[in-house]
Amino acid sequence: MNLTNRPLLQLIVLSVCLVVSVYTADYTDNYKHVPGQCILQNSCGSSLPCAQNTSDPITPDEDHIALLKTACPMYVDAENVCCAKDQLEDFIKQLDVVKNIIGGCEACYWDFQAIECAFFCDVNQHQFIQITNATLNETDSKTTVIGVRYFITKDAAKRIYNACKNVRDSISGGIGIVYVCGSADCDQDTFYLKLGDNAYTELKIEFVIADTSTVDYVKPYTDKDIYDCKDTVNGKTCSCMDCEEKICPIIVDEDTTVNWHYTLPIGLALCLVWMIVVLVLTFRHKSKSASNNTEIKSVGAGGLDNKAAELTSPVSIHETPNGQNDYGTSSPTRPNGASPTRPNDVPLSPSLSVASTISPLPNSPTEYENKSLITKREPLYQCWLRLGPRIGEAWSNMVYDYWYLVLLICFILTALCCGGWYNFRITTDPVELWTSEDSVSRMQKIDYDSQFGTTYRTCQLVVKEKSPSTFGVNNKIVNGVFNPDFLKQVYDMMVDIESLNVGNVTYSDLCYKPLGEFNKTHPKEDCATLSVFQWIDNNRSVLDNPADYIKRMELCAEATALPECLASFRGPSATNIVLGGYDAVKLNYMDSTTLPVTFALDGSAAKLENILKWETAMKDYLLEQMGRRPDLKIAFSTDRALEDEIDRASHADIFTIVLSYILMFVYVGVTLGDMDCSVKGCLLNSKALLGVGGVVIVLVSVVSALGVTSYAGLPTTLIVIEVIPFLILAVGVDNVYIMVQGIQRIICEKIEREETLNTSAIRGMLSSMMRDVFPSMILSSLCQMVAFALGSLSFMPSVQNFAYNATIALLMNFILQTTVFLILIRVDLMRQLNGRLDILCCIKAELNKPDRGPVRWFIEEFWAKYLLINKWIPAFILIFFGCFTIANVMLIPDLKLGLEPTMALPSDSYLLDYYHIAYTDYRIGPGMSFVFKSRDGSPLDVYEERTYGELISNQNSLLKTIGKYGESPSYQYIIGEGGSFIKYFSDSWLDSEPCCWNNGDEFCPSIKDRTDCSACPQSNMTTDTKYKYLQWFISDIPRTDGSGCSKGGAVSYANSAKFSPSNRSVISGRFTSSHGVLSTSHAFITARQQALVIADEVNSNSKIIEVYAYSSFYPYYEQYDTIVRECAVNLAVTIVATFLVALVMLGFQLHAALCVMLSVTMCAADMIGSMVYLNIPLNAISLVNLLLSVGIAVEFSANIVQAYTTSKEVGRTNKARHALRKTGPAIVSGIAMTNFVGVIVLAAAKSQLFVVFYFRMFFTINVLCVAHTIVFLPAFLAFLGD
């Protein structure tokens, strides 16, 4: 909202308020016209002319001619005129207002002067003017004219209307004649009907539009002095925005809407292709099996011994050592379950005899490989894969032997990391969160604040009727917000707010005063408070007379720039700021349903502490008023309100978040151990304390990461605090489950083999466990660390911060889990092997083989068995998941961007009502500026011809480009042409006689006594003179009593230019405008992008000036310029990095690394697609969550692929089944169930932010990752694993 430049300067008197009507009937009158005689002359008070039956015209003298040059230049050369000097002086005052509205188009302005001057100056006025009503003043015997008929030809009327119908006023940028008609539907008839039919003057003029040049004995006014808008007048032409006859350059609006007409068939086609590929591969595998069986039978028919035939037959790739195929059924070539005689990669060579191929049957696959007919060197990947287990074993032994030293080192390392907390700080500043230090918007904000300053903060009270009503006054019906009782209630609240005292400081001490140092006489009245009460001089007693104040409000709503309508701070109270809820097309202001009151507070840092206290007092007062005024719907907002409410929501949800983590901790402690039927057995095999230890390690990792980043001076964000623990807990708990279940498996095997279990076996058990799980742990951890480290390449500080903390936390978590947690497992094993219960360590029990938990039993005995029972189930799974991913990819173009402000608010926030009213009832959005400066950084001479052209007058100038785009329906978020201090100074203030006065080199302000002053000379002005006048204009305070200049720029343009030290040039300046109503994130994003398009076009057409667009919200929404690219690049880099790390850690097995990358990519793609139908927009929070999904997907996928590649089973299906049985229970019970337990609680959060981005998104991430890991990946590995 811009408080300084939003006057909607309406066309209040386009004549002495001509009242026009269309007259078609024959007219007869007894009035006798006398050629060469004036019938209207002089002024009879109140700008009304005197009637003269037969008055001689006036021969102008020098003073008269000087007035004619300003008021009626078309009569400067006339020998005689009918207008007296006092009439011309009154007319010049009226022209000041008119010029603000239509002065931008010289032809329209000339036409208005021509038709008006003909009315009271033309010596032939008797030919087209008839007096219809007059009153006789008995005091001076003068006859005052209050009604006339004005005859005008049809062509003249049409040309005048066409010349002015598109002209925009120079302040608000709106269509000028709209304010004459009082409606956007302003056709020619309405225009001439409404032109003077108003309460602004007592003179009524009825226009008679004639089809011919003569009506009876009347000769209508013709178009001899009329120009069309395309014509050049006084060397000036109208712009293309002001003139329909000129063609503006066509703006091509890019259509970014997703065309589902094309994407849907493409998606269906891709699904069909994928289905065909899977089915072809399925039948191909089946035909290979059949072919192999046929070959074996043909060899046997050739007379070979059955045993020889078995030994020499090629083995299908699907066969296992037990004569089973990959899906668990008996192979027809292996009766009695005989083992295969040769590896499937040794073909039957026609050159080898049967005898030469027969060799003794090996006892095991490993033995067979050593005794193979064709000696092979061990593959490189097998050598590499043996390195991981050896490192794990050596590491375990080292930790076991030197546990005290390991604990000491870990303690010192953790303490050093946590030492950074002395520099810990949390930032909620959106600029710090969303924009990098070298971002364009951030640099522009710094430049803007340094050039023009942070002028004010805003607080707003909005009041509506709970039960809408109407109110009758002045023979018309208006809405209930204009009812005196309603207005008095709002007025009383406004006064109470202004009277709030906080530490002996009141509103008048803290408010923003546009006049600043220019005026100190009325401190409270100078506060920039915007309300309809400014229109009645903030006088409550006026509300006792509805007929009067309604008439005044109607006038000021249509003409906010009238001196009597200016606010106490000498600026306009713009209608679209002080009224709301009216029809934006019809502009029926008296149908308003909302009454906003805006309080502006000083933006200086020195007053910030007291301002914050005052804003809190205002909030407390209005919350109290909500309960005390049940008939009113009260809504409000302060500058700090959003931040306060977000903070309140965060504190309100602390319990929910803590409960979420507690439940996860409890779940880990309860489910980490194995089940047992007896209570003692259950407690003996329980791992509750060990689970708590694992969780504590996770928390220590997070705390250490925050300490390290604090050392570096990086601020912590709420995103890090809320997401990092979830991520590390998810990843860390998985490793905890893998390690503990590995130990439990070893215990079970020893019990089954009836081996003695005592503490002396612990070292070997730990080394065996680490030998088995260390490769998968380091694979998943390294993949995630590299992925998140590369995520720090993002340009968004919040994402960078998350990436840094995640990488360090993962590293610390891995170090502590492979050291401290390994020692904790050792201690827990000593307890368990000594028969002591968990928690109740004093009680002993006998160690028995524990039962498997329900999750482990389900995965090992049911899911792994039946998921891959035949070839069709994996095929169906691949088809389903493939098509699901394709569908989600097709949805990605429809992904929304942004973060709605209401999402961050608690469900009971008072701001929700305020935002709802603002979005539905407001008719104007945030203020904006186009800042210009020299391209080479030197001061700018704005009056140099080329510079002035690029700023004001050229077809592609800054001012006209703003207006051009404001005309485009697709650029509805840019309102009008906006305010230009250069144009307003030149076209309005400088040309107005009452404004520029001086006494030598000293300026005489409008509000001061000008007895010793004279009008500023304007002929042959030098550059120095122009800049001197310009600075006088900016310091001039407008008068509000109608007796002087009301156009001073001290209120509207005080901060619009920064002058050079020589005061002969401008370092930088700004043209002000406004955005339309911005109710959604999409609207904010689009509004900013539209403003940038305008600035870019101006820069492309300019050689001298450089322009940028700025509004206070731009830095926060800059992230959406690149967030799609950021998302794509971050995900691509992390996924590729995951692939490369997996490729190295899996022994350069390309197919295994590709499986990891495929699963992670599908999870990410499915998550992005799911965001569309879950209505989750893309922003910094969801981008961080997408990176989180990659981390969790890597943890899931890497473990199962690692288990697959190291499996000693033969055949893809058996290897996939083995991998699922080995890692599936830890994945489901470790990560999935832990996350589910914690996430479900977040559904009860008060803030929609938590519900959408943490409950809804985390839950979906969990479901997708689990589904891809225990359903898709085993099926894919069984189908195409090698």
Phi, psi (degrees; rounded to nearest 5) at 490: -65, -40
- Vertex 866, ends 861 and 867: CA angle to 5°? 110
Mean pLDDT of 612-638: 90
Residue 1091 has pLDDT above 80, yes or no: yes
- Mean pLDDT confidence for 1251-1256: 84
Residue 490 confidence class, pLDDT cut points 50, 70, 90? very high
Nearest to 872 by CA among 1217, 1214, 1268, 1213: 1213
Beta bridge partners of 716: 426
Q: What is the mean pLDDT of residues 524-548?
A: 85
The DSSP letter of residue 335 is G
- Chain-centre distance of CA 139, in angstroms? 69
pLDDT reported for residue 566: 80
The pLDDT, as a whole number, for residue 89 is 80
Q: What is the mean pLDDT of residues 74-84?
A: 88
Model confidence at 38: pLDDT above 50 = yes
Q: Would you state the pLDDT for residue 1258?
A: 84
Q: What integer pLDDT is reported at residue 1203 of this predicted model?
A: 83
* pLDDT tens sequence across 438-488: 788 888 888 888 888 766 788 999 999 888 888 888 778 888 888 899 999
CA pair distance 829, 847, nearest whole angstrom? 11
At residue 183, the pLDDT reads: 56
The DSSP letter of residue 337 is G
- Residue that has been written with the tokens 């290897």 in this structure: 1215
Question: What is the band of 1 on the pLDDT scale with cuts at 50, 70, 90?
Answer: very low
CA angle 23-29-34, nearest 5°?
A: 115
Question: Which residue type does 1218 have?
Answer: H
Separation between Cα atoms, residue 1048 and residue 1007, nearest integer Å? 10
Quick one: which of 163, 166, 158, 188 has its CA closest to 242? 166
Provide the pLDDT confidence category of residue 329 given band limits of 50, 70 and 90: very low
Range with the poorest average pLDDT among 166-175, 391-400, 1108-1117: 166-175
Confidence class of residue 363 from pLDDT cuts 50, 70 and 90?
very low
End-to-end Cα separation, the chain, in angstroms = 64
pLDDT one-digit tens code per residue, 903-917: 878 878 888 888 888
Question: In the structure, what pLDDT confidence band is assigned to residue 660 with cuts at 50, 70 and 90?
Answer: confident
Per-residue pLDDT, averaged over 596-612, amounts to 86
The helix (run of H) or strand (run of E) holding residue 151 is: strand 142-153
Residue 209 pairs in a beta bridge with 152
* The pLDDT of residue 753: 75
Q: Which two tokens stand for residue 1173?
A: 């139908």
pLDDT of 379 > 70? The answer is: no
User: 142-153 and 632-637 as β-strands: parallel, antiparallel, unpaired?
Assistant: unpaired
Share of the chain above pLDDT 90, in %: 7
Total H helices, total E strands in the chain: 45, 19
- The mean per-residue pLDDT over the stretch 706-733 comes to 78
Q: How distant is the alpha carbon of residue 60 from its chain centre?
A: 64
Report residue 491's pLDDT band, with 50, 70 and 90 as the boundaries.
Answer: very high
Higher per-residue confidence, 981 vs 559: 981
- H or E element at residue 43: strand 38-43
Q: How far apart are CA 770 and CA 395, in angstroms?
A: 8
Q: For residue 521, what pLDDT is reported?
A: 46
* Predicted confidence (pLDDT) at residue 505 exceeds the cutoff of 70: yes
CA distance 581 to 447: 36
* Span of 15-24, 107-116, 273-282, 1055-1064 with lowest mean pLDDT: 15-24
Report the pLDDT value the prediction gives residue 676, as an integer from 0 to 100.
Answer: 55
pLDDT 10s digits, 983-1003: 888 777 876 667 888 888 888
Q: What per-residue confidence (pLDDT) applies to 1266? A: 87
Average predicted confidence (pLDDT) for the chain: 76
Residue 416: the pLDDT is: 92
Whether 410 shows a pLDDT value over 80: the answer reads yes
Concatenating the DSSP letter of every residue in 1137-1169 gives: HHHHHHHHHTTS-HHHHHHHHHHHHHHHHHHHH
How many degrees, rounded to 5, is the angle at CA 628 between CA 623 and CA 634? Answer: 50
pLDDT in tens, 797-808: 878 888 888 889
| pLDDT > 70 in the chain, percent | 78
| Model confidence at 531: pLDDT above 60 | yes
Question: Smallest Cα–Cα separation from 597: which of 561, 544, 636, 646?
Answer: 636
Distances (CA, A) of 1095 to 476, 510, 1117: 46, 35, 17
Higher pLDDT, 607 or 200: 607
Whole-number pLDDT of residue 675: 54
pLDDT at residue 411 is higher than 90 = yes
Whether the predicted pLDDT of 621 surpasses 90: yes
Structure tokens at 1262: 């969990």
List of long-range contacts for 142-146, beta carbons under 8 Å, 24+ apart: 142/44, 142/50, 143/44, 143/50, 143/51, 144/44, 144/45, 144/48, 144/49, 144/50, 144/51, 145/40, 145/44, 145/48, 145/49, 145/50, 145/51, 145/203, 146/48, 146/202, 146/203, 146/204
Please, is 25 exposed, middle or buried when counting C-beta atoms within 10 Å of its C-beta (0-12, 13-18, 19+)? exposed
pLDDT at 1056: 85
| 801, amino acid identity | N
HSE-CB at 820 with a 13 A cutoff on CA atoms is 25
pLDDT at residue number 667:
77
Nearest to 13 by CA among 120, 87, 96, 121: 96
Task: Give the pLDDT score at 1232.
Answer: 75
Report, as an integer, the average pLDDT of 244-253.
60
Sign of CA dihedral 368, 372, 377, 381: negative
